[in-house]
Structure 1
Amino acid sequence: MSADTAAPPAAPAAPAPAVLGRPLRVLAWLSFLAEVLIIGTGGAVRLTGSGLGCSEWPLCTPESIVPTQDLGIHGFIEFGNRTMTGVVGLLALAVLVLTLLRLGARRQLAVVGWFALGGLVAAGAVYAIANAFGAPAFVLAVTTALLACVAAAYVTVRAVRARRELVTLAWLVVIGVVAQGLVGGITVLTGLNPFIVGFHYTSSVVLVCVTAAYLVRAYAVAGPRERAVPLWFAVVTHVTTLVLAVTIAFGVLTTGNGPHSGDADVIRTGFDATVLAHVHAWPGYVLLALVLVLAVAAWMRRLSPRRWLAAVLVVIAVQVAVGVVQARNGLPELLVGIHMVLAALSAAAFTVVVLRLKRPVAAPAE
Structure 2
Amino acid sequence: MWVRRLSLLNVVVNVMIVVTGGAVRLTGSGLGCPSWPNCQPGAFHVTPAMGIHGYIEWGNRLFGVVVGVVAAATLLATILRRPRRASLIRPALLVAVGVPAQALIGMITVETGLNPWVVSCHFLVTIAVLAAAYTGYVRAGEPDGEARPVVPGPFRLLAAFVVAAALVTIVVGVLVTGSGPHAGDPASPRIPLDSALLAQLHADSVFLLIGLTVGAVLAAAALRAPRRVRTALWVLTAVEIGQSVIGFVQFFTGLPVILVGAHMLGAALLWLAALHVLLTCRERTGAPEVPAQERRVATEAEPEAAATP
Partner of 1:329: 253
Answer whether contact 2:151 2:225 (CA < 8 A) is retained: no
Alignment-mate amino acid for residue 302 of structure 1: A
Aligned pair partner of 1:81 in 60, 68, 72: 60
1:354 counterpart residue number = 278
- Written as runs of structure 1 = structure 2, the 5 A alignment for 1:100-115 is 100-104=79-83
Please state whether the residue corresponding to 1:187 is helix, strand or coil: helix
Partner of 1:61: 40
Tell me how far apart the structure 1 counterparts of residues 129 and 141 of structure 2 sit (CA, whole Å). 19
Q: Does residue 279 in structure 1 map to residue 258 in structure 2?
A: no
Alignment of 1:302 onto 2:225: yes
Q: Secondary structure at the match of 1:88?
A: helix
Quick check: 33-42 or 205-214, which moved more?
A: 205-214
Aligned pair partner of 1:99 in 78, 84, 106: 78
Q: Distance in 2 between matches of 1:180 and 1:246?
A: 21
SS for the counterpart of 1:338 is helix
User: Would you say 1:190 and 2:169 are equivalent positions?
Assistant: no
Give the alignment's TM-score, normalised by structure 1.
0.75
3-state secondary structure, aligned to 1:196: helix
Structure 2 Cα separation of the partners of residues 258 and 222 of structure 1: 46
Q: Matched residues in 1 for 2:142 and 2:218: separation?
A: 25
Matched residue, 2:266: 342
RMSD: 1.4
The SS at the match of 1:220 is: coil
Contact 2:106 2:122 in 1 (8 A): yes
Aligned with 1:40 (options 7, 19, 35): 19
Counterpart amino acid of 1:349? A
Tell whether the 8 Å contact from 2:144 to 2:286 is kept in structure 1 after alignment: no
TM-superposed deviation, 1:361 = 4.7
Q: Which residue pairs with 2:49 in the alignment?
A: 70
Amino acid in structure 1 at the alignment position of 2:152: P
CA deviation digits over 1:2-54, x for unaligned, max 9? xxxxxxxxxxxxxxxxxxx2x32222222111100000000000000000000
In the TM superposition, what is the alpha-carbon distance from 1:180 to its structure 2 partner? 0.4
Per the alignment, in what secondary structure is the counterpart of residue 148 of structure 2?
Answer: strand
CA distance in 2, matches of 1:169, 1:361: 20
SS at match of 1:305: helix
| Alpha-carbon distance in structure 1 between the residues aligned to 2:27 and 2:163 | 32
Counterpart of 1:5 in structure 2 is: none
- Kindly state the Cα deviation for residue 200 of structure 1 after the two structures are TM-superposed: 0.3
Separation (CA, whole Å) in 2 of partners of 1:36 and 1:362: 31
What's the offset of the Cα at 1:168? 0.1
Taking the TM superposition and a 5 Å limit, the aligned residue runs for 1:1-20 are none
Name stretches of at least 5 consecutive residues in structure 1 with no aligned partner. Answer: 1-20, 105-161
Alignment match, 1:209? 131
Instruction: Measure how far apart 1:185 and its partner are.
Output: 0.7
Given that 2:155 and 2:216 are in contact with CA atoms closer than 8 Å, whether structure 1 keeps it comes out as yes
Structure 2 spans left out of the alignment, 5+ residues: 288-309
Q: Give the letter for the 1:335 counterpart.
A: L
The ranges of structure 1 where at least 4 consecutive aligned residues each deviate by more than 6 angstroms after the TM superposition are none
Supply the AA of the counterpart residue of 1:227: P
* CA-CA distance at 1:183 after TM superposition: 0.5
Deviations 1:153-191 (A, max 9, x none): xxxxxxxxx521110000000000010010011111111
SS across alignment from 1:226: strand
Paired-residue identity, %: 41
The correspondence of residues 153-164 of structure 1 with structure 2, limited to 5 A, is: 162-164=84-86
Q: What amino acid sits opposite 1:338 in the alignment?
A: A
The offset of 1:312, in angstroms, is 0.8
Aligned to 1:232: 154
Mean Cα deviation higher: 303-312 or 293-302: 293-302
**Which range moved further: 264-273 or 195-204?**
264-273
CA distance in 2: counterparts of 1:61 and 1:41, whole angstroms: 20
Summarize deviations over 1:312-336 as a string: whole Å, max 9, x none.
1100111111100000000001111
CA distance in 2, matches of 1:206, 1:336: 21
Query: Could you say what secondary structure the match of 2:16 adopts?
Result: helix
Q: CA deviation at 1:246?
A: 1.0
Count of aligned pairs between the two proteins = 285
Residue deviations 1:307-358, cap 9 Å, x none? 1111111001111111000000000011111111111111112112212221
TM-score (norm 2): 0.89
